[in-house]
Amino acid sequence: EVQLVESGGGLVQPGSPLKLSCAASGFTFSSNWLNWIRQAPGKGLEWVASINPDGSSTYYPDTVKGRFVVSKDNAKNTGYLQMNNLRSEDTAMYYCARTPHWGQGVMVTVSS
Amino acid sequence: DVVLTQTPPTLLATIGQSVSISCRSSQSLLHSNGNTYLNWLLQRTGQSPQPLIYLVSKLESGVPNRFSGSGSGTDFTLKISGVEAEDLGVYYCMQFTHYPTWTFGGGTKLELK
C-alpha cells in the first residue's frame, strides 16, 4: 500500500524558515517524481514544487521560486521541502503527492 | 501557463440526481505521446484530495462506476450518475500534460439541495 506521510509543520513568524518532510512507502521512491501542493484555508489547490526521480532537476512556480527548495533522499525514501523567508500568504496545508496518491497534509501557519 | 476553468463553482443536487461538472483548459491537454493527462479529484471536508479519474476517463481503483469522465483537447466533463451522500465535497480537475507544472481547476463544491 502506497503511503505518504508529511511532518514538520507548525506556527512560525514571517521571515522564518521551515522544513517539511514526506516519508514514502509502498512504491519505488527512487524511480518516481515527488510533488508538493498546498491549500490555503478555504481556498483551492496550488502546485508548489516538483523533483525528478534522481533529484537532479527541480521545478517551482513563480510564487515560491527562490524561497522554496525541494529535495529527496532516495536512500531514506523521504522527500523534503525547505521553505525560507516565509510570508503570511504561505499559510496553508501542504501535501506531498506521487500521482495518484496524496499524503494527509501538514499545516503551516505564518504569523507574528 | 495553462489555466483550468471549472463550472459551476457550486452544484446543488438531490440524492439520486445525475450531475455534470465542466473543466475547460486554456491550452490543449493532448500530450505529444498521445495521452491526455487530465485527472479528477474529490476532496471531502477535512480530508486530503483523493483521485477519481485519470487520463480523462479511466476510473481509479475502487471508484464507483457512477463516476465517468469524458472530453478531449480543451473541454472535459465529469459526470456522476446518481449522486450519493458520500459524493459530497469539492471536485477538482487537474492537468500534468504540461509537466512538471501541475495545474488545478478552481473547484466545484457539490452540496445537497
Residue ranges of E strands in chain A: 3-7, 10-12, 18-25, 34-39, 45-51, 58-59, 68-73, 78-83, 92-98, 101-102, 106-110
The model's confidence at residue A42, banded by pLDDT at 50, 70 and 90, is very high
The whole-angstrom separation of Cα A10 and Cα A91 is: 10
The model's confidence at residue A45, banded by pLDDT at 50, 70 and 90, is very high
A66: closest CA of chain B, how far (Å)? 16
Condensed to tens digits (0 to 9), the pLDDT of residues A55-79 reads 999 999 999 999 999 999 999 999 9
Condensed to tens digits (0 to 9), the pLDDT of residues B35-59 reads 999 999 999 999 999 999 999 999 9
With beta carbons under 8 A apart, name residues in chain B contacting A46: 104
Residue A58: per-residue pLDDT: 97
Of A33, A52, A103, the CB nearest to B48: A103
Instruction: Report which of A82, A73, A77, A42 is spatially closest to residue A55, judged by C-alpha positions.
Output: A73
Residue B100: per-residue pLDDT: 87
Residue A91: per-residue pLDDT: 98
Helix (H, G, I), strand (E, B) or coil at B86: helix
CB–CB contact B104 A52 (8 Å): no
pLDDT beneath 50: ranges in chain B: none
- Tell me whether residue A72 is exposed, middle or buried, using C-beta atoms within 10 angstroms of its C-beta: 0 to 12, 13 to 18, 19 or more: buried
The whole-angstrom separation of Cα A104 and Cα A94 is: 9
B-chain residue closest to A43, CA distance: B106
Pairing status of strand B103-104 against strand B89-95: antiparallel
Residue B25: per-residue pLDDT: 98
A66 touches chain B (CB under 8 A): no
A17: closest CA of chain B, how far (Å)? 24
Residue B17: per-residue pLDDT: 97
Residue A19: per-residue pLDDT: 98
Cell numbers standing for residue A24: 514514502
Residue B99: per-residue pLDDT: 87
Pairing status of strand B50-54 against strand B58-59: antiparallel
Helix (H, G, I), strand (E, B) or coil at B1: coil
Over range A81-102, report the average pLDDT. Answer: 96
A to B CB pairs, distance under 8 Å: 46
Instruction: Report which of B27, B55, B28, B54 is spatially closest to residue B41, judged by C-alpha positions.
Output: B54
Average pLDDT, chain A: 97
Beta bridge partners, A110, equal A12
